[in-house]
Chain A
């Protein structure tokens, strides 16, 4: 049985979830360690590429061009995939996608499926839907297996069990695989998973995958992975069902030249993934004889329509931004309340929810820009975060119940003040007078009221100087005369 899926609709606001997550010091240590290891590996393999910045630009260009002509390329993919023997389905939302997949699995005559790691299937909570129809999904990616057996949820796009360390994984495996004796060395854990999965690979007749890329020109699908479990799922079953967001399109096969350099280096710090699979339709006597692709919208067209945040869809899910993000590294992924955590999650999740939920996520960033710096396709995440913050503010302003919004009132009052120098000076004087009412000690303020209290939670604030710069300047000018 899978655990309860992360759901932005019911998740607590980020600051609350973050506070809870940061109480788990083991989780913090695990996340710190793992992100540090991946970042170091990434930095090493990126540094050896003299043309890395040009590659990023090429990646950005391919993604922008694709999004500008997405309608065309999707149809091209559909035609070419069908011509090669694949069957293409279109799903408007998660519910429709779940129904299609459940129907296809039932039609395949199987009550079990083997799965390749796919965040898109996590996004639509596919495992829970399959289980409710008495279909048993087996995750075959090591990290996803850990998550599934632990009734846990993914906390990272590339390394879903990044928040668990070896000892914790060993305990999960021992308990769930009924192993009396198990070491916690990587090879012990890999051996255990291998024995557990081998028999599933050999007898389960239906496979479910996500996709890294859908190639419009050929109708092919590309999956890259490190463990080889994916290759098994793509070749052994009789029926293969691929679920992919409509944003996964690449126009041409040769675009992989750019993407397959950018993705592995950014994601796992490898020059190349150990397994790169591309398959096109079906081939008699070789691999699955029935092949379906479910193309999922689930909010993506809405993002496409907003030209200021359209670049969100350029994401190739490398998770470099998660590893680089100082906020993610403090909280881990679950605090984001979505399978998409970290900076990319902070912009993707609220938009997939059409801004009805997860409005605290665009604020879950200090706008430090580390995400933008490492993004292989140059998504300006800080710019999109700010754009989404504006949407949240506009949304709040439109709600009658929020007509007494202290933050909005304060911001508006300050904006009016800044529009006039005399008003600004008066506000400076008033601020100085008001500050005198606060508890102070030796020239430092140690407590602030209301939402400003967040400041004095960890920090003191030095008292305001008696003279502003402009007062000093004015005096100096007078003295000079």
Chain B
């Protein structure tokens, strides 16, 4: 295992991971510390504003952008275990800041964004790693979330990380580029269509006979897991970080 350079990382956990998936945050900390990096957690952090922005409440999202910049402006590297939140920042923060008419904020966003990384991207692109010393003896399939796939161009980065995990049995998911149907408030506003898209995704997951479906975004996984549980399939979903945190003898 090559550790690469050592950094002072700042974790932006995101509002929903903080509240609903604390295990993902702990796993990110575990992986980063195992690799020798320090992890900081700016206390004042809350939410990136994605849900508000994407639903049309852009005025409500604006102060959250400001808050994020204030909290993280001095970070050496911001690590975020949510591909859609990172996409929100990269795709929309620059023009949001420009629209707010605050030149300092525009500069702040410009300076900060190159230091913002989605978790798997931080490992593969910033650190140039594939093997992070993980052990996870299960049959696993990987769901490429749309924002990770298209907006962040994660490519095969997450798959390369998974392939390097000892003990893992990795199975490819058919229709990798297909949306799972979550889409934030879409899942509620267009519940029928979202459900039909979800049914295709869970069928593909079940076809792999995997025990675990992983991804770089817990929001897709919460949606997929919700149906897998409703259908009593016994298949679990788990954020990529939690697989990469797996260690021999630690139980998984």
- A residues at B contact (CB < 8 Å): 14-15, 18-19, 22, 326-327, 330-331, 362-370, 372-373, 383, 386, 388-394, 408, 411-412, 414-415, 417-421, 424, 428, 431, 444, 446, 451-455, 457-462, 464-465, 467-473
Contacts and interface: CB of A to CB of B under 8 A. Distances in A.
What are the 7 closest A-B residue pairs judged by CB atoms, nearest first? A459-B226, A366-B183, A454-B191, A389-B56, A415-B60, A368-B179, A393-B56
Contact of A469 (B25, B46, B67, B198): B25
Select the residue from A18, A388, A408, A418 with max chain B CB neighbours within 10 A: A418
A14 B165 CA distance: 44
B228 to A, nearest CB: 9
A contact patch SS: helix
Given A392-B56, A469-B13, 5 more contacts: A15-B190, A15-B192, A370-B179, A428-B18, A444-B229
Interface stretch (B2-10, B47-55, B102-110, B111-119): B47-55
Nearest to A445: B226
Interface stretch (B37-45, B128-136, B208-216, B244-252): B37-45
A56 to B, nearest CB: 15
B235 interface: no
A462 B225 contact: yes
Given A365-B183, A415-B64, A473-B41, A467 B22 contact: yes
A392 B18 CA distance: 30
B196 A372 contact: no
B164 to A, nearest CB: 26
A338 to B, nearest CB: 17
B177 interface: yes
A455 B191 CA distance: 7
A371 to B, nearest CB: 10
Nearest to B225: A462
B100 interface: no
Contacts of B43: 421, 470
A470 B13 CA distance: 9
A408 B178 CA distance: 30
Given A365-B183, A386-B54, A454-B189, A330 B226 contact: no
B contact patch SS: helix
Contact of B64 (A390, A391, A419, A431): A419
B184 A367 contact: yes
B146 A364 contact: no
B189 A424 contact: no
Contacts of A419: 46, 63-64, 67
Contact of A386 (B19, B53, B195, B229): B53
A327 B198 contact: no
Given A421-B43, A454-B187, A458-B226, A22 B22 contact: no
B22 A386 contact: no
B150 A393 contact: no
Contacts of B196: 22, 330
Contacts of B22: 465, 467-469, 471-472
Interface of B: 13, 15, 17-26, 41, 43-47, 49, 51-58, 60-61, 63-64, 67, 91-92, 146-147, 150-151, 177-179, 181-199, 222-223, 225-227, 229-230
A469 B52 contact: no
Contacts of A458: 191, 194-195, 198-199, 226-227, 230
B11 to A, nearest CB: 9
B46 A421 contact: yes
Contacts of A457: 191-192, 195
B193 A327 contact: yes
A412 to B, nearest CB: 6
A392 to B, nearest CB: 6
Contacts of A431: 19
B192 A22 contact: yes
Contacts of A391: 56
A393 B188 CA distance: 17
Nearest to A432: B19
B150 A373 contact: yes
Contacts of A471: 22
A15 B61 contact: no
Nearest to B190: A15
A463 to B, nearest CB: 9
Contacts of B21: 465, 469
26 contacts: A14-B190, A365-B183, A366-B146, A367-B184, A369-B150, A370-B177, A386-B56, A393-B56, A394-B56, A411-B60, A415-B60, A419-B46, A419-B67, A424-B46, A454-B187, A455-B188, A457-B192, A458-B227, A459-B198, A459-B229, A465-B21, A468-B18, A469-B18, A469-B26, A470-B41, A471-B22
Contact of B55 (A370, A383, A389, A446): A389
Select the residue from B146, B182, B193 with max chain A CB neighbours within 10 A: B193
Contact of A415 (B17, B63, B191, B229): B63
Given A366-B186, A369-B146, A419-B67, A414 B229 contact: no
Nearest to B62: A415
Contacts of A453: 191
Given A419-B64, A469-B25, A326 B53 contact: no
A471 B178 CA distance: 36
Contacts of B23: 465
Nearest to A324: B177
A326 B181 contact: yes
B22 to A, nearest CB: 4
A378 to B, nearest CB: 13
